[in-house]
Amino acid sequence: MPGIDENRPFIAVGIAILTVSDSRTPDTDTSGDCLVDRLVRAGHRLADRAIIADDIAAIQSHLKAWIVSSDVDVVIATGGTGVTGRDVTPEAFEALYDKAIPGFGELFRALSYPIIGTSTIQSRATGGVAGGTYLFALPGSTGACKDGWDKILRDQLDNRFRPCNFVELMPRLNEG
């Protein structure tokens, strides 16, 4: 049965939070606040936080800086994953992946279906690895961020989670 193995020590990872939005500010970024609150309560380090406009070049510039930073192990983005013309987060992320993690988006949508029904088809949540850094993009709603963290990322970013987790793979992400 999957779960936390209390015999293993917890390992905190550095997580950067990226909000992709043309309209949110530090005072109105409830989704970013939600993710920061959850990662800190879980025992992880907030490595950095930013709000970037819906622009592929701007998003990628920020991601590239975080990918090479020794302080950032994981980037979690919120926003820009829909299907409108301004929603470009998946395109920005996926162009940088060394390896995609298709199961992340698939699982996110499967978990969202009982909550929002067929509206989940509009989510283009995505995950992958770039330069040894995990990149995850969630929709911009606070509910989606809660679900993405509580139902997927909380366990996968806890090295005590069994049978396996993303943290224990970190030392091997850049193997040739």
CATH assignment of the domain containing 152: 3.40.980.10
Whether the Cβ atoms of residue 87 and residue 140 lie closer than 8 Å to each other:
no
Would 174 be classed as within a structural domain?
no
Q: Is the pTM of this model over 0.95?
A: yes
Cis status of the peptide bond prior to 163, with omega within 30 of 0: yes
Q: What share of the chain is helix, strand, coil (3-state, %, to 5)?
A: 40, 20, 40
Q: For residue 57, give its domain range.
A: 12-169
Whether the Cβ atoms of residue 127 and residue 104 lie closer than 8 Å to each other:
yes
Check pLDDT > 90 for residue 176.
no
Report percent pLDDT > 70 for the chain: 100
pLDDT digits (tens, 9 = 90+) for 6-15: 999 999 999 9
Would 2 be classed as within a structural domain?
no
What mean pLDDT is reported for the chain? Answer: 97
Domain total of the chain? 1
pLDDT of residue 1: 85
pLDDT digits (tens, 9 = 90+) for 24-70: 999 999 999 999 999 999 999 999 999 999 999 999 999 999 999 99
Would 103 be classed as within a structural domain?
yes
Would 4 be classed as within a structural domain?
no
